[in-house]
């Protein structure tokens, strides 16, 4: 079985068109509807301009270049002649007529000259005779250029408005996703991979870009353009238009086939690219292990296989495009051939003018571009819908902890001896598989309690319940007599500070890692906390002191130095409840004494729950609770537990040995 590296959901498995997704997207589009409507209105104007531009060639040809609108036959079977009418009352025209009387005919006060006889006039007389056509042709060109300039300006405005609206929609959607993810409970993150969540917020939202920008504007433009061209063609000559449209069923069939083939390949490519990204990230994170165990060749072979599959899919995509695009071009040329043959016959017979034939050729060339674009935009829609399905699938997962109807603020401390209490608590991350069973424990205010026991005994799970990262499956955790489910989680967590086994630092300054809002802390308080956490020497060694930016979560610091910074962070919080989760597991000998001293200052006078594998750390606590198989096995002080000869005594003997 080929591994999917957690990305198997990337393939779009929904309906071809899911209008429910579009309706849900409307809630994000609606706040920016004015910009989108304005953009579509500009698209309509631009479409009208685009339709009008070719029509100027007909005006120029039929009115001013080949104006012979009147024709007659001298006798049966003779060819049709074109004539240009001139005004004999005009002195300049009259002078030309006097010089060439054999070329002009007078009828009803108007003079005519056959278009074929214009070549017999001297160049100067021809210019003089057609000076009005010259001026009018210049006016037509000027209007044409003004429309081109308007098209450029309006296109710029339309694209800016549409892109701005699209980016705002993506901005709102990305914020909504980020906020939704942040509010989930820890059970949500145990079931969702980091790569999957990052892909939703980045790649999938970015896939919506073309839907909100290119797709909306181009689809409206293509539809308006197709309808406009069809109307203009039918208006020019409906018989000629129907002859050209006979090719359309073949074009429609080709577009549908392309859409189906391209959609399947796009889906497969998205899955393969996700697998390559996942494999690449996994390899980089585990490069030390790969090189240590000499797995470079094996890892390379797996990546090469994924890359080869991606290459094959890319070539299939190229083949589809290489077939569809030339096919559309060929069908367009076939339509032009039909137009030239049928329309040329009608022009020869005098049923249409040459200008009509020329403008019809221009419209036919324009007609096939929106047909091709619509087929491509259909796949843009499919790509966006597949991303929308995954985005809304994530938004539909709601694993937030239940919020209290009203946040009950406890009164002044009522019972210091039972300030924190676990009453018959059981916890199962997976239904039926309990990690804690019937645990009861009370912690007095200001007391420090150490949790020890074998790996998997449930020590960290107890801390998770106390922070309300999870709710107990049975029983209740109470703080000052109130069930934690009655507390606002945000206010509850403001009372606690956590120092974890593996220090978590962020890629920002040391100051901001310790003080979330540095502006709210004066320098005297900063110095006091840095000194209490034994961070003075560390800060002094850093290039810019507290303002040194930590790269990659403080990778350049030792584990002990990172832990000192997290202890300083806990001190800065000045919390009433301190939680230490294996805070001394990764301490190097050089900073061990400094960390122990900083921890003693941290827990002094505060309530503290500390999880410890090192029993030397457990001795810092007032009381030690020993867990085994999710239950409390024994409790007491260090000396009491050693005298009892139970599990703690055996653990102590193993460590001292």
Q: Profile the chain (657 residues) by mean pLDDT over runs of 10 residues.
A: 37 53 84 87 90 86 68 45 76 82 79 79 80 84 93 91 89 91 84 79 83 80 87 87 85 78 75 77 81 85 89 86 81 85 81 84 85 76 79 87 67 68 90 89 90 88 89 90 84 85 84 86 88 88 88 79 87 87 69 80 87 82 90 90 88 80
pLDDT value at residue 410? 55
420-430 and 433-443 beta bridge pairing: antiparallel
pLDDT value at residue 408? 59
The pTM is what? 0.72
pLDDT value at residue 156? 93
pLDDT value at residue 605? 83
Q: Which residues contact 119 (CB under 8 A, 6 or more apart)?
A: none
Q: Which of 472, 475, 483, 485 is nearest to 435 (CA)?
A: 472
pLDDT value at residue 1? 32
Structure tokens at 348: 């020869």
The partner residues of 85 in beta bridges, in order of sequence, read 112
Q: Please tell me whether residue 149 adopts helix, strand or coil conformation.
A: helix
The partner residues of 580 in beta bridges, in order of sequence, read 499, 610
CA distance 181 to 647: 41
CA distance 437 to 216: 57
∠ CA 280-282-284, rounded to 5°: 70
Q: Are 229 and 51 in contact (CB under 8 A)?
A: yes
Instruction: Please provide the distance, in angstroms rounded to a whole number, between the alpha carbons at the two ends of the chain.
Output: 47
Backbone angles phi, psi at 210, to 5 degrees: -65, -30
**Long-range contacts of 172-175, Cβ-Cβ distance < 8 Å, separation of 24 or more:** 172/28, 172/31, 173/28, 173/205, 173/208, 173/391, 174/201, 174/205
CA distance 62 to 156: 33
Domains detected in the chain: 8-34+161-395 (1.20.1560.10), 416-656 (3.40.50.300)
- 404: Cα separation from own chain's centroid: 34
∠ CA 414-421-584, rounded to 5°: 115
Q: Which of 420, 527, 388 is nearest to 484 (CA)?
A: 420
CA dihedral 169, 172, 177, 180 (to 10 degrees): -140
């Amino acid at each position: 079985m080929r591994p999917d590296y957690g990305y198997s959901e990337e393939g779009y498995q929904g309906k071809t068109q899911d209008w429910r997704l579009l309706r849900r997207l409307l809630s994000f589009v609606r706040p920016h509807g004015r910009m989108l409507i304005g953009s579509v209105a500009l698209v309509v104007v631009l479409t009208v301009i685009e339709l009008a531009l070719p029509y100027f060639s007909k005006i120029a040809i039929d009115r001013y270049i080949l104006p012979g609108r009147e024709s007659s036959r001298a006798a049966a079977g003779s060819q049709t002649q074109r004539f240009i009418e001139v005004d004999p009352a005009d002195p300049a025209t009259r002078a030309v007529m006097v010089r060439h009387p054999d070329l002009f005919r007078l009828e009803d006060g108007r003079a005519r000259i056959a278009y074929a006889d214009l070549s017999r006039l001297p160049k100067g007389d021809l210019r003089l005779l057609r000076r009005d056509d010259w001026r009018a042709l210049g006016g037509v060109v000027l209007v044409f250029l003004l429309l081109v300039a308007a098209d450029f300006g309006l296109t710029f405005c339309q694209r800016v408005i549409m892109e701005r609206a699209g980016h705002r929609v993506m901005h709102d959607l990305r914020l909504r996703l980020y906020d939704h993810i942040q509010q989930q409970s820890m059970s949500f993150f145990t079931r969702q991979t980091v790569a999957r969540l990052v892909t939703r917020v980045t790649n999938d939202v970015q896939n919506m870009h073309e839907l909100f920008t290119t797709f909306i504007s181009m689809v409206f433009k293509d539809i308006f353009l197709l309808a406009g061209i069809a109307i203009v063609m039918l208006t020019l000559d409906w018989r000629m238009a129907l002859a050209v449209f006979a090719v359309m069923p073949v074009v429609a069939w080709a577009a549908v086939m392309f859409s189906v083939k391209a959609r399947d390949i796009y889906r497969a490519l998205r899955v393969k690219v996700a697998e390559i990204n996942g494999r690449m990230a996994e390899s980089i994170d585990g490069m030390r292990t790969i090189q240590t165990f000499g797995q470079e060749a094996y890892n390379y072979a797996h990546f090469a296989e994924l890359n080869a599959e991606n290459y094959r899919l890319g070539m299939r995509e190229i083949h589809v495009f290489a077939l569809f695009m030339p096919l559309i071009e060929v069908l367009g040329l076939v339509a032009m051939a039909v137009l030239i043959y049928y329309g040329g016959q009608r022009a020869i017979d005098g049923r249409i003018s040459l200008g009509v034939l020329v403008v019809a050729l221009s419209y036919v060339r324009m007609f096939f571009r929106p047909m091709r674009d619509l087929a491509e935009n259909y796949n843009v829609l499919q790509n966006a819908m597949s991303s929308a399905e995954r985005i809304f699938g994530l938004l539909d997962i709601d694993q937030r902890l239940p919020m209290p109807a009203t946040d009950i603020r406890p009164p002044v401390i009522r019972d210091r001896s039972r300030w924190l209490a676990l009453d018959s608590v059981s916890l199962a991350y997976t239904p039926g598989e309990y990690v804690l069973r019937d645990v009861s424990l009370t912690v007095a205010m200001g007391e420090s309690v150490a949790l020890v026991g074998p790996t998997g005994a449930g020590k960290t799970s107890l801390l998770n319940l106390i922070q309300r990262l999870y709710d107990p499956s049975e029983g209740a955790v109470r703080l000052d007599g109130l069930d934690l489910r009655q507390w606002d989680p945000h206010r509850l967590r403001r009372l606690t500070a956590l120092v974890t086994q593996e220090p978590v630092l962020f890629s920002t300054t040391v100051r901001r890692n310790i003080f979330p809002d540095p502006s709210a802390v004066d320098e005297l308080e900063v110095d006091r906390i840095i000194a209490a956490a034994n961070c003075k020497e560390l800060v002094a060694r850093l290039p810019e002191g507290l303002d040194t930016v930590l790269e990659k979560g403080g990778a350049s610091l030792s584990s002990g130095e990172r832990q000192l910074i997290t202890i300083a962070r806990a001190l800065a919080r000045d919390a009433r409840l301190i939680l230490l989760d294996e805070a001394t597991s990764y301490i190097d000998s050089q900073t061990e004494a400094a960390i122990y001293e900083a921890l003693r200052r941290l827990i002094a006078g505060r309530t503290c729950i500390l999880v410890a594998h090192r029993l030397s750390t457990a001795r810092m606590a007032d009381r030690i609770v020993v867990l085994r198989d999710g239950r409390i096995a024994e409790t007491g002080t260090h000396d009491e537990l050693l005298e009892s000869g139970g599990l703690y005594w055996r653990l102590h003997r193993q460590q001292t040995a």
